[in-house]
Amino acid sequence: MNTNLKISNVTKIYPGCVANDNVSLEFNSGKIYALLGENGAGKSTLVKILSGVIIPDEGKIYLNENNLKLNSPLDAKKNDIGMVFQHFNLFETLSVFENLIIDSDEQREGLREKIDSIMRKYNFSIDLDIPVLNLSAGQKQKVEIIRCLIRSPKVLIMDEPTSVLTEQETSELFLSLKKFSEEGILIIYITHKLKEVMELCDEVAVMRRGKLVSVSEIKNENIESLANKMVGQNLKTIKKKKEKNSSDKLINITNLNFISEDPFETNLSDINFSVNRGECLGIAGISGNGQSELFQVLSGEIISDKNSIEFNKNYIGDLNPQERREYLMAFSPEDRLEQAAIPQMAIYENVALNNYKSSNFFNNGLINENKIKEHSKKIISDFNVNTDNIELKSQFLSGGNLQKLIIGRELITSPDLLICFNPTWGLDVGAINYIHETLIKINEQNKSIILISTDTDELLKLSDKISVIHKGKLSKIMDADEVTSEKLGILMGGGN
Amino acid sequence: MIKIVKRDEPSRAIFFLTPVLAIFLTLVAGGLIFYILGFKPFEALKFFFIVPIADKYGFSELLLKATPLCLIAIGLSFCFKSNNWNIGAEGQLTFGAIVSGGVALLFYEQEGFYILPIVILAGAIGGMLYASIPAILKTYFNTNEILVSLMLVYVSKLILDYLVVGPWSNPEGFNFPETRQFSDSARLPLLFEGLRIHAGIFLALAAVVMSWFIFYKTYLGFQMKVSGFSLKTAKYAGYKGKKMIILVFLISGACAGLAGVGEITGPIGQLHREVSPDYGFTAIIVAFLGRLHPVGIIFASLVVAITYLGAETAQIFMQIPKYTGQVFQGMILFFLLASDYLLFFKFKFIGSKK
């Protein structure tokens, strides 16, 4: 049976922003639809309306000509709309089976058969009786998908599902989605990754600033045209000039080990690498393979053996981040809101977190507010942070603007080495481009970068050399020109 | 229709208005309780809140009670602002009183300008020592500071009990559970003849100024603030998060200890079983009512001090148990927490829809 889902004149207004401005869209089963847009474009609001999490101010939803009243997620489930969120909603300590039946009112044993048959049909292999915490991100996502499939949904909505997956897991997911689509499930795929849209979808709806900008067939589009629609301006494509780098070693890591007391952390074993001046070393890997620990060891949040890190001919393994900054290192952590910045504090206070001595932010133990504010204004204008109020709490900056502020703050010292961890995670295309340009500029000034990232495209674009981290071990360091994303994917999955 | 909507940003005006709202609601609820008990609400509230401070003596008593509350709450604000839940100020106060009382007793026959500073210092150190226990257990052994600091309150009270009954009891005291009177050199000077208000109020005011200065002007305060919001960020910035935790406990303990000194060298003049009518616990309410802000805490300590006085007046004139005071303190905290809801949510009135 054909499924027809119609969104008609949906408007949702938040104080100060129109999240959805009179959006009308129509979907038919048999096709995979992409809903494309930058962060804050309104696509999440729209799918949350479809899944009953948010109630629209105006507008109606029709499923097969029936006007749906979606007042809660339960209503969406009852009306055969399934949704897989970007962040998993699973109980880590319960078994897979318990997670699957938790919101079902059917009989246990009947369900087990049903789940088995779903898994056979789509070639999923997951042990139903192990706790969810033992699963990989890809498997967890499959559990979420199965949870939707149990209810034989007519519509399946996927919210940025690949952000935590490897290349292989992504292609498996795409195969499954195509299969669902052939079986008549209407699929709506939310993303801001253009490549995925081109690869997977049949039709694409682009949103920008709460409005629907265009609906078109994929065969009439290409990556550039979609990017331009999404951002609303012609983007210049950035390319890094590959130059012959100096062979002057800036940082040299030898036999670095880290054994954690926390069972949820990854141990690092026998890390060895070096980075030359003007070079960018990319470190690829699936999240949770020791990137966070590696970042902390490099930044000094985790202290290691003094001699294991040689920087600019000094041994600094036992120094804390503040002391390492004095040697001209700078750090941009992954977690912008919980680590790199304090959302409840003003922009200028966040700038003061980089307490490099000659910045004179603090004199004789006193806060030098004028100096901090002066510098904050400079960062805001130099790095295009979209505000002119440095007293604004940083929680009101968008992810992109906050990241620009953080990178700007870290570059106060004009450091010799910047260590970034997923610097463009969750940002929109415009901000990503800006950050990438900034990073390239740093290299051009003969300064170095260690870029730990889970985004392979980013790594291939920016790095001179690439290594892959898997279960706390680094692969051999490769020339970026000789690496393909397929090869990285294999290494990231633990292959050779 | 009324709709409850989440605020985008907690409004600054509301932030300082909710304490006022909480006090207002407390008065309304208090009036209601008096009414149910068979009193005329307005008259009872007048006895509770206005009569006690209507004369010079009453006003002096108000400042006398507000002094320890303010001092302790200022200290607690250091802990609470950095997410360290020290609720054992009562114990730190008691231990500070024990140490400073012990020192004062050493000098019981002596006179000299140097005695009082030593006694005061001893009290601060006693409070710090006692506060360092939960701090060190928290930082190095991951214990819960709420439990440890709370339980140490009872330990300190029992130590005090033992001392005033046993080794330190006044040899000429007919076995009353109290020590000798301190010598005049170990007493805080009175500010006015005939009134009990003493120089301890300057300690409290100094603490207010000091806390404002540290929090808003110094690098140390900045580090405390950051560590309080996120230890991860503190670590990333290179601050010594654990030392910061111990430091705020020490400051808080010192303030509570000083409050203890103020009581025993001020109005009491000796050690006995009840050096504090739970000032250390009530100061928690004061700290939150004052929004952990130095100036706010001054006002809050005055408001809460009235409940102590009002309870006494009410007991005398209306034959209501003085524990009514604690009822009022509880109501203030209750309504404050309830009205904090308004910080994050607001009511939106919207016309009925077609």
Q: How many interface pairs between A and B have CB atoms less than 8 angstroms apart?
A: 66
Spell out which residues of chain B touch residue A324, defining contact as CB-CB under 8 Å: 238
> Confidence band (pLDDT; 50, 70, 90) for A244?
low
The radius of gyration of chain B's CA atoms, rounded to the nearest angstrom, is 22
The whole-number pLDDT of residue A232 equals 67
pLDDT at B187 over 80: yes
Please answer whether residues A79 and A157 qualify as being in contact, where contact means their C-beta atoms are separated by less than 8 angstroms: no
Q: Average pLDDT over chain B, rounded to whole? A: 90
* Chain B residues interacting with chain A (CB cutoff of 8 angstroms): 5, 8-9, 216-222, 225-226, 229-230, 232-233, 235-239
Q: Report how far residue B263's alpha carbon sits from residue B188's, in angstroms, rounded to the nearest whole number.
A: 9
Structure confidence at residue A167 (pLDDT): 77
Band the pLDDT of B137: cuts 50, 70, 90.
very high
Written as one string, the DSSP assignment of B119-148 is: HHHHHHHHHHHHHHHHHHHHHHH---HHHH
Going by pLDDT thresholds of 50, 70 and 90, the confidence category of residue A17 is low
Q: Give pLDDT tens digits for A125-156.
A: 888 888 888 888 788 888 988 888 888 889 99
pLDDT at A158 over 70: yes
The DSSP H or E segment spanning A37 is strand A32-37
Asked if A80 and A155 touch (Cβ cutoff 8 Å), the reply is yes
The closest alpha carbon to B9, from B345, B292, B338, belongs to B345
DSSP codes, A428-493: -HHHHHHHHHHHHHHHHTT-EEEEE-S-HHHHHHH-SEEEEEETTEE---EEGGG--HHHHHHHHT
What number is the average pLDDT over the span B114-118?
94
For chain A, percent of residues with pLDDT exceeding 90: 31
How, if at all, do strands A417-421 and A448-452 pair?
A: parallel
Q: What is the pLDDT of residue A295?
A: 95
For residues A215-237, one letter each, b for 16 or more C-beta atoms within 10 angstroms of the residue's C-beta and e for the rest, the string is: eeebeebeeeebbebbbeeeeee
Q: Do B225 and A345 touch (CB under 8 A)?
A: yes
State the pLDDT at residue A188: 93
Q: What pLDDT does A452 receive?
A: 95
Q: Check B237 against A354: CB less than 8 A apart.
A: yes
Write out the DSSP string of A321-371. Answer: HHHHHHTTEEEE-S-IIIII--TTSBHHHHHTTS--GGG-SEETTEE-HHH
Q: Which residues of A touch B225 (CB under 8 A)?
A: 345
What is the average per-residue pLDDT within A161-189?
Answer: 86
Question: Which amino acid is it at A287?
Answer: S
Q: Which two tokens stand for residue B216?
A: 């808003």
Residue A236: is its pLDDT beyond 60? no
Every domain of chain A and the residues it spans: 4-231, 249-492
Nearest to B336 by CA among B305, B295, B273, B292: B292
Contacts of B238 in chain A (CB under 8 A): 300, 320-325, 355
Nearest CA in chain A to B216: A367
Contact flag B235-A321 (C-beta cutoff 8 Å)? yes
Residue in B90, B81, B66, B264 with CA at minimum distance from that of residue B182: B264
Residues of A in contact with B218 (CB under 8 A): 365-367
Do residue B238 and residue A333 have CB atoms under 8 angstroms apart? no
Q: What is the average per-residue pLDDT within B251-271?
A: 95
CB B69 within 8 A of CB B299: no
SS3 B108: coil
Q: Nearest to residue B163, comparing CAs of B271, B89, B29? A: B271
Quote the pTM value: 0.73
Residues B159-184: what's their mean pLDDT?
90
C-alpha distances in Å from residue A94, one per residue of A125, A145, B94:
18, 17, 48
ipTM for the complex shown: 0.76
Q: How many angstroms separate the CA atoms of A300 and B242, rounded? A: 16
User: Residue B230 pLDDT > 70, yes or no?
Assistant: yes
pLDDT at residue B321, rounded to an integer? 84
For testing contact with chain B, the best of A353, A393, A410 (most B CBs within 10 A): A353
DSSP codes joined into one string, B147-214: HHHHHHHHHHHHHHHHHHHTTTS-TTSTT-SB-PPPPGGGSPPBSSTT---BTHHHHHHHHHHHHHHH
Q: Per-residue pLDDT tens for B140-155?
A: 898 999 999 999 999 9
Q: What angle do CA A350, A351, A352 make, to 5 degrees?
A: 90
Most confident of A1-10, A129-138, B37-46, B115-124: B115-124
pLDDT for the residue B255: 97
Instruction: Name the interface residues of A facing B (CB cutoff 8 Å).
Output: 14-16, 299-301, 320-325, 331, 333, 335, 338-342, 344-345, 349, 352-355, 362, 365-367, 393, 396
Interface test with A, best of B1, B218, B229, B233 (most A CBs within 10 A): B233
Q: Which CATH class is domain B2-349?
A: mainly alpha
With a CB cutoff of 8 Å and minimum separation 6, the contacts of A83 are A47, A50, A51, A73, A76, A148, A156, A157, A158, A159
Q: What is the pLDDT of residues A42-78, one digit of tens each?
A: 888 898 899 888 888 889 899 888 888 888 888 888 8
Q: B8: pLDDT confidence band, cut at 50, 70 and 90?
A: low
What local confidence, expressed as pLDDT, does residue B65 receive? 94
Contact by Cβ (8 Å): A52, A72:
yes
Predicted local distance difference test score (pLDDT) of residue B353: 45
The domains of chain B are located at 2-349
Asked if pLDDT for residue B354 goes beyond 60, the answer is: no
| CA–CA separation, A426 and A440 (whole Å) | 20
Average confidence (pLDDT) over B311-332 = 87
pLDDT score recorded for residue A496: 66
Closest CA to B198 of B65, B52, B49: B65
β-strands A249-258, A268-276 pairing: antiparallel
Q: Which of A15, A321, A338 sits opposite B237 (nearest CB)?
A: A321
Question: Which segment, A139-143, A431-435, B98-102, B235-239, is predicted with the most confidence on average?
Answer: B98-102
- Which residues in chain A have their CB less than 8 angstroms from residue B229's CB? 342, 344-345
* CATH no. for A4-231: 3.40.50.300
In this predicted structure, the answer to whether residue A237 has a pLDDT above a threshold of 70 is no
Yes or no: say if A409 and A438 are a contact pair by the CB < 8 Å rule: no
pLDDT digits (tens, 9 = 90+) for A383-434: 988 888 888 888 888 888 899 999 999 998 789 999 999 998 878 778 888 9
The nearest CA of chain A is from the CA of B217 a distance in Å of 5
Which residue do the tokens 């880590």 mark?
A: A92
**In this complex, do A301 and B235 lie within 8 Å of one another by their Cβ atoms?**
yes
Q: Give the separation between CA A135 and CA A159, rounded to whole angstroms.
A: 20
A492 touches A166 (CB < 8 A): yes
Q: How many CB atoms lie within 10 A of CB A107?
A: 11
Chain A residues in contact with B5 (beta carbon < 8 A): 15
Answer whether residue A234 shows pLDDT above 60. Answer: no
Local structure of residue A95 (DSSP, 8 states) = B
DSSP structure class, residue A235:
P
Q: Which tokens belong to B290?
A: 């004052």
User: Please, what is the average pLDDT of chain A?
Assistant: 86
pLDDT digits (tens, 9 = 90+) for B298-308: 999 999 999 99
Helix (H, G, I), strand (E, B) or coil at B93: helix
CA B123/CA B101 separation, integer angstroms: 8
* CA distance linking residue A485 with residue B327, whole number of Å: 68
Q: What is the pLDDT of residues A443-493, one digit of tens each?
A: 999 899 999 998 777 888 899 999 999 889 999 999 888 887 777 777 877
pLDDT at A243: 62
Question: Which pLDDT does position B131 carry in this prediction?
Answer: 97
The SS3 assignment for A5 reads strand
CA-based nearest distance B226→chain A, Å: 8
Position A272 scores a pLDDT of 93
Angle between helices B12-36 and B324-339 (to 10 degrees): 140
Segment A378-387, tens digit of pLDDT = 999 999 888 8
Instruction: Enter the CATH code of domain A249-492.
Output: 3.40.50.300
Q: What is the pLDDT of residues A357-377, one digit of tens each?
A: 778 899 888 999 999 999 999
